[in-house]
Amino acid sequence: MAARAFFGPPSKTAAPGGLQVSVYLVPVYQGRLLAFDIHAKAVSGRWLPWAVIDYRQNPYEAAALLADDWLDVGLDDLRVVDVLSAEGPLQGWELAIVYRAELAELPKGDDGRAPYLYPADRYDAIAIFEPTDFERWVSVAQTQHRTPATTLPPGDVRVF
């Protein structure tokens, strides 16, 4: 039987075999994926907004703070679209909570981060995610249609 997912006290850095709970944002503007080109000394490449959440922090709060920090624009919607398990640093485990962030406008970026708006229906692998993940998450709002409640005729009682 596999070991259960119980872990020791929180740590400021990754620990061998440890757990990290991360929040990732999938920014979407007018049905297109937005990522960031990072140009820093320590890291470079195309990234999504992400962070390891603080101990006992509400994941939604972490996602909202992350949106303020990386995007700095209004959001039309911020919702969980996936929770994934992945190999973490130092042979640890990462529990990734993925939020779709529907942008009201394009972010401006800053000295270290330049926004990159993908062409419609084009996706690359970024971080631990595959193009098919992005395809699913970007299109999730288009596939979720709300159906109006059925109006019953007077006197018709239904029990479900």
Each residue's pLDDT tens digit, 67-121: 999 999 999 999 999 999 998 888 889 999 999 999 999 999 888 999 999 999 9
Task: Check whether 147 has a pLDDT greater than 60.
Answer: no
Q: CA-based Rg of the chain, rounded to a whole angstrom? A: 19
| pLDDT averaged over every residue in the chain | 88
CATH of domain 19-143: 3.90.79.10
114 Cβ contact list (under 8 Å, min separation 6): 36, 37, 39
Q: Residue 151: its pLDDT value, please?
A: 58
Q: 32 - beta bridge partners?
A: 29
C-alpha span between 68 and 155 (Å, rounded): 51
Other beta carbons within 10 angstroms of residue 154's beta carbon come to 5
The residue behind tokens 């042979």 is: 91
Torsion of CA 103, 104, 106, 110, to 10 degrees: -80
Q: How many helices (H) and strands (E) does the chain have?
A: 2, 7
Q: 15 - beta bridge partners?
A: none
Percent of the chain at pLDDT exceeding 70: 86
**pTM, whole model, 2 decimals?**
0.83
